[in-house]
Amino acid sequence: MSETKKLYIRTYGCQMNVYDSERMAEALGGSGYTEVSSPEEADMILLNTCHIREKAAEKVYSELGRLRSLKNEKPELKIGVAGCVAQAEGAEIMARQPLVDLVVGPQSYHRLPDMEARTRRGEKVLETEFPEDDKFETLKTRGPKARRAPAAFLTVQEGCDKFCAFCVVPYTRGAEVSRPADRILAEARDLVSRGVREITLLGQNVNAYHGSGPDGRDWGLARLVRSLAEIDDLKRIRFTTSHPNDMEDDLIAAHGDCDKLMPYLHLPVQSGSNRILKRMNRSHDRDSYLRLIERIRAARPDIAMSGDFIVGFPEETDADFQATLDLVREVNYATAFTFKYSTRPGTPAAERSGQVPPEVAAERLGALQALLAEQQQAFMQGMVGREVGVLFEKAGRHPGQMVGKSDYLHAVHVHGPALKEGDLRRVRITSAGPNSLAGELV
């Protein structure tokens, strides 16, 4: 019988990292590893990192510093760094932190079993190239037929060809690559057989998906969505994150004619100023974005729009920021994510003059967040009295209470003694709180 070893993974950042961590655990499962919930229990620790936010690398070094005493107590403990920080700074991580045994980029984690074996032989292992072999093809199966949570992520596309001036993704994830449709459909069916009822399709630019179909033709995201919708026990489909330039007519139409595609769309714009959008190299302008929103809402009038915004981009003026506020008022977002611009080494924007003073950027961020919070609360209050679908995912804090996600991704609390995980029920919303809704079964 093979030795059972214990694996602890700490995941930072986006949903794609959550998916990648699942696949890393499955890859190492074949080498005898089972996951544990604390680093103190582990024989191997993996930090799956994100490079998007400010000071991402410093956070990794800080976490590694905290693990030093644990490594001293357990010299046989193996510590690895994975993900985008590993891709961008792998050699430096190895040089600065001798306790690290392996560094693996996001395109090479299918090689973890071999890397782990090499560390057991006393080697230090660095894998940050973009390999020719397909990690998804190598990891065809999702491991033992364990029961899954009702909602799951499924990566369909990776990488980015847009080269926004502020973003490191093209350098850490590589060029845009789409998985073949038949492999995605097979993985989706496998997830559904384990109890998954909602799948979120993931990609750096997910709507740039153009994978080869089983019919030999190129499939876009809309055709993939419609094919997934034919899986009987798959009840909900979502996708994120989208780029405005890749929102094709067929995908817009799918929001109106595919019942399983949820009425929620995350469509980042980043700024409302044409001047700043050009400096960001976003390749769209304010008016084209607003026209796109109009077309999407014409196809699905009840759709909830979400967005991303960066304030304090180099040379952003008060007038540029006001243009962002004006766009937010015009679109009226259900939710949004906001960030102060932070310099990412190696990106074009990092070398530019005209950096906005931190206190000015902070003031603008506060004003933008206040406006978006007002819109979010108005959207949630507007849900009161409406009926929505809710997919229940876990027990609530009170006896007989279950918590699930609405069609619009709101957390919804419902009392119903007969409810269980995985139930999809109609719920009438009775009240709205700051961050969640309450309702009753219809």
pLDDT in tens, 213-235: 999 999 999 999 999 999 999 99
CATH number of the CATH domain containing 196: 3.30.750.210
Mean pLDDT of 108-134: 84
Domain that includes residue 401, residue range: 387-441
Position 336 pLDDT exceeds 50: yes
Residues 219 and 276 in one domain: no
For residues 157 and 89, membership in a common domain is answered with no
What is the average pLDDT across 64-86?
92
Same domain as 200, residue 232: yes
Q: Out of 241, 262, 283, pick the residue that ends a domain.
A: 262
Looking at per-residue confidence, does 229 or 29 come out higher?
Answer: 229
Peptide bond into 241 cis (omega under 30): yes
Residue 83 located in a structural domain: yes
Q: Are residues 371 and 267 in the same domain?
A: yes
User: In total, how many domains does the chain have?
Assistant: 4
Residue where a domain terminates, one of 96, 127, 158: 127
Binding annotation for [4Fe-4S] cluster: 14, 50, 84, 160, 164, 167
395: which strand partners? 402
| Bridge partners for 210 per DSSP | 220
Kindly state whether residues 234 and 273 are assigned to the same domain. no
Amino acid, res. 279: R
pLDDT band at 87 (very low <50, low <70, confident <90, very high): confident
Return the percentage of the chain with pLDDT > 70, whole number: 94
Residues of the binding site: 14, 50, 84, 160, 164, 167
User: Could you report the per-residue pLDDT of 379-400, keeping only the tens digit for each?
Assistant: 999 999 999 999 999 998 888 8
Report the predicted TM-score, pTM, of the whole model to 2 decimal places: 0.82
The answer on 106 and 15 residing in a single domain is: yes
What tokens appear for 112 in the block? Answer: 């973890």
Residue 288 phi, psi dihedral angles, 5° rounding: -65, -35
* CATH at 402: 2.40.50.140
Alpha-carbon gap, residue 140 to 153, rounded angstroms: 16
Tell me which of 332, 360, 381 is where a domain ends.
381
Residue with the larger pLDDT of the pair 61 and 196: 196
Indicate if 333 and 298 belong to the same structural domain: yes
Domain assignment present for residue 313? The answer is yes
In terms of domains, do 345 and 404 share one?
no
* Whether 90 and 40 share a structural domain: yes
Residue 1 has a pLDDT of: 39
How deeply is 190 buried, as exposed, middle or buried, from its count of CB atoms within 10 A (0-12, 13-18, 19+)? middle
Q: Using N-to-C axis directions, what is the helix angle for 181-193 and 221-228, rounded to 10°?
A: 30
User: Residue 50 sits in a domain of what CATH number?
Assistant: 3.40.50.12160
- Same domain flag for 166 and 233: yes
